[in-house]
Amino acid sequence: MFRRFFSRVSALLLVVLLSLASLTTVWAATDTKAPGYVENVKAVPADGEVQLRWDAATDNVGVTGYKIYMGLHSVSKAGDKYDLDPIEVGNVLKTTVEDLDNNTTYYFAMTALDAAGNESEAYSYEVSATLVDSGDDGKNPVVSSAKALDCENIEVHFSEDVVFSSEDPMSAFKIEDLDTMQYLKVLDVSYQEDNHSIVILKTEAMNEKAQYLMTVGVDVQDDYGNAIVSGTSDTAVFSGASCEVQVVTPPDDEEPKDEEAPVVEEVTIVDATTLEIGFNEEVVLLDVEEDAAAREQAAGEETEDESLASEEENTDQIVLSKEDENPVLNYFEIYTKDNQVLEVESVEYKDTGEKDEDGEPVFDRKVLVIKTVTPHVGETEYFVSITGLTDEAGNAMMGDTTSSSSYTTPKFETEEIPDTVAPEDVTNLVADAVDKLVNLSWVASLNSAGDLVDQLFYVSKDGGQTYEAATSLGKDPVTYSFSGGVEGQTYTFKITTKDGTGNESQGAIVTATLPTTGAGIGLLAAASVFGGSFLGKKKKK
């Protein structure tokens, strides 16, 4: 009995659903009334996009969606149309139009749609929005360097202007003595004059012989809210500084004896293969030529017996290894946490760009410019350790904490090389005149760069002095027929090649004279190719 009752109910329900579907179909098919106008449209510009909002439109059956018309010019006259493709959205009251150009004004108008395909009979009131670049590059600030100005002040450089999201900016900085593991308390934080990319930290008194590790927290942000990323470019190592400089005047006006080795103060990345290392005093670079000559002389000062033995056993000249040729390169060790070592190619003093009285360049002997064989990896922490480099007094750096430093590379960007070279010209251009028709054929361009997008056909009646407007032939054809000429007229034809950047070749040229009789006269002319026909293009990959 239950099964019989359930079958009756199911059958009744099916009849009702079919009736509703039929009614809806008939209603949709007979609905010819357009939806009402869309009102109160508002446009809010953003970076590369516009947010649109509007009030719901009405319809006798129901609105199913909206159509957004847009363009770069205002539409104010009947019959005018917007010059960009329209966008359809569902039955919503807001949307975002993306992929727009900044510093550009866009105009918008809307209509409503229903299920029967009816559309509002007129646009909504037009609105406009001008997009402005927010200036936010989306990059997080990084710590560039830090150095002690004195025993109680530290100068911290960031990659861009920074602000502090916390009311207690001192808490954003942790400074640890790498020897004692004790923390140095930060007492105050301020900017350097009007430069918000440089922050001055007021601290407790530092140990002048200590190496400190500074870590910056996420409370430090740029002007757009991008915060320092923990564990990525948020640290710097620097040396402590003395609170008081005590100068002891030696007897007989002798200069104080320097017994301290140079100290690394700052490491600056110039580019992927160049860094500058600043010291607290002038350092001495070995004169490679003088050193090599001295070694050759020392190697030649053998005893008479040793010289005779040397002549009998070995007549080879002295050969210096790369390290022997420039032992200064061995002073520097550059590596990552994963022990990826960068080989040093050259070391020299920094050129200040100034000249002395004799017109010779002036060098800063407290700054060394280091070139590496292989480039640094962007956004990576590196360490540099120096052993053997001396000051004027002969005090050598020992590779300890005062002779080492860490630095973090920025993201290196590759410079795009503009394309200024056109595709190669076509070759073997031939013209055959028959009656008033000239049939042309040629061998396609070599197109070594693979960027050919079009071939242009030109006609001249004055021997190539001037040409009529070009006709686009497309990139693939190797034949073309010219018609409509005058009997007895000599024509000059030119075919050029063009790439997507707009570079156009000089062209291949051929001439042909239309016969004055109906008889076919075949004319073949060698193509004159002006420049670049067989030169390959080289583009940045």
pLDDT of 329: 85
On whether both 227 and 275 belong to a single domain, the answer is no
pLDDT of 322: 47
Q: Which residue has the higher pLDDT, 256 or 304?
A: 256
pLDDT of 80: 86
pLDDT of 252: 60
328-335 mean pLDDT: 88
Evaluate if residue 264 carries a pLDDT over 80.
Answer: yes
51 occurs within a structural domain: yes
C-alpha span between 185 and 183 (Å, rounded): 6
* Cβ atoms 86, 1 nearer than 8 A: no
Q: Where are the beta strands (DSSP E) in 444-518?
A: 452-460, 471-474, 479-483, 490-499, 508-513
The model's pTM is 0.32
Evaluate if residue 212 carries a pLDDT over 60.
Answer: yes
Confidence label for 362 from pLDDT (cuts 50, 70 and 90): very high
7 occurs within a structural domain: no
28 occurs within a structural domain: no
pLDDT of 279: 94
Confidence label for 3 from pLDDT (cuts 50, 70 and 90): very low
From the list 529, 521, 344, 502, the residue with the least C-alpha distance to 435 is 521
On whether both 126 and 147 belong to a single domain, the answer is no
On whether both 275 and 371 belong to a single domain, the answer is yes
pLDDT of 224: 80
Taking the alpha carbons of 216, 220, 224, 229 in that order, is the dihedral positive or negative?
positive
198-223 mean pLDDT: 92
C-alpha span between 126 and 42 (Å, rounded): 9
On whether both 123 and 161 belong to a single domain, the answer is no
On whether both 337 and 217 belong to a single domain, the answer is no
Q: Is 379 left (phi over 0), alpha (psi -120 to 50) or beta?
A: left
Confidence label for 297 from pLDDT (cuts 50, 70 and 90): low
On whether both 274 and 403 belong to a single domain, the answer is yes
pLDDT of 285: 84
On whether both 87 and 63 belong to a single domain, the answer is yes
95 occurs within a structural domain: yes
On whether both 187 and 218 belong to a single domain, the answer is yes
pLDDT of 511: 96
Q: How far is CA 134 from the centre of its chain?
A: 18
Which range in 68-82, 305-319, 492-506 is most confidently predicted, on average pLDDT? Answer: 492-506
On whether both 459 and 371 belong to a single domain, the answer is no
C-alpha span between 143 and 235 (Å, rounded): 6
Q: Which residue has the higher pLDDT, 503 or 254?
A: 503
C-alpha span between 496 and 422 (Å, rounded): 10
* Cβ atoms 453, 498 nearer than 8 A: yes
Taking the alpha carbons of 176, 180, 181, 184 in that order, is the dihedral positive or negative?
negative
| Domain harbouring 466, CATH code | 2.60.40.10
Between 213-227, 422-436, 477-491, 511-525, the lowest mean confidence (pLDDT) is in 511-525
The predicted-structure confidence for 504-515, as pLDDT tens digits, reads as follows 999 999 999 999
Q: Which residue has the higher pLDDT, 29 or 541?
A: 29
Domain span at 348: 260-296+321-408
Question: How far from each other are the two terminal CA atoms of the chain, in whole angstroms?
Answer: 80
Between 124-128, 180-184, 268-272, 401-405, the lowest mean confidence (pLDDT) is in 401-405
Amino acid at 173: F
19 occurs within a structural domain: no
Evaluate if residue 257 carries a pLDDT over 60.
Answer: yes
Confidence label for 16 from pLDDT (cuts 50, 70 and 90): very low
Between 221-230, 319-328, 521-530, the lowest mean confidence (pLDDT) is in 521-530
Q: Which residue has the higher pLDDT, 496 or 486?
A: 496
* Cβ atoms 283, 368 nearer than 8 A: yes
| Domain harbouring 367, CATH code | 2.60.40.1220
On whether both 288 and 381 belong to a single domain, the answer is yes
On whether both 282 and 403 belong to a single domain, the answer is yes
pLDDT of 78: 78
Helix (H) or strand (E) holding 336: strand 332-336
pLDDT of 35: 95
Q: Which residue has the higher pLDDT, 144 or 76?
A: 144
Average pLDDT, the chain: 83
Evaluate if residue 524 carries a pLDDT over 50.
Answer: no
216 occurs within a structural domain: yes
Evaluate if residue 311 carries a pLDDT over 90.
Answer: no
**Residue with tokens 């028959």, as numbered in its chain:** 434
Between 271-275, 301-305, 336-340, the lowest mean confidence (pLDDT) is in 301-305
Evaluate if residue 470 carries a pLDDT over 80.
Answer: yes
Q: Which residue has the higher pLDDT, 74 or 247?
A: 74
Confidence label for 414 from pLDDT (cuts 50, 70 and 90): low
C-alpha span between 206 and 150 (Å, rounded): 8
Between 83-87, 404-408, 435-439, 526-530, the lowest mean confidence (pLDDT) is in 526-530
Q: Which residue has the higher pLDDT, 465 or 13?
A: 465
Q: Where does residue 478 rank: exposed (0-12), middle (13-18), buried (19+ CB within 10 A)?
A: middle
Between 20-24, 172-176, 535-539, the lowest mean confidence (pLDDT) is in 535-539
Evaluate if residue 464 carries a pLDDT over 80.
Answer: yes
537 occurs within a structural domain: no
What contacts 175, CB < 8 A, 6 or more positions away?
Answer: 154, 183, 184, 186, 201, 203, 212, 213, 214, 215
On whether both 118 and 198 belong to a single domain, the answer is no
495 occurs within a structural domain: yes
Number of domains in the chain: 4
**Residue with tokens 């301020």, as numbered in its chain:** 190
How much of the chain, in percent, has pLDDT values that exceed 90?
57
C-alpha span between 273 and 268 (Å, rounded): 12
pLDDT of 98: 94
**Residue with tokens 């693979």, as numbered in its chain:** 450
Evaluate if residue 531 carries a pLDDT over 50.
Answer: no
The predicted-structure confidence for 281-295, as pLDDT tens digits, reads as follows 999 987 544 444 544
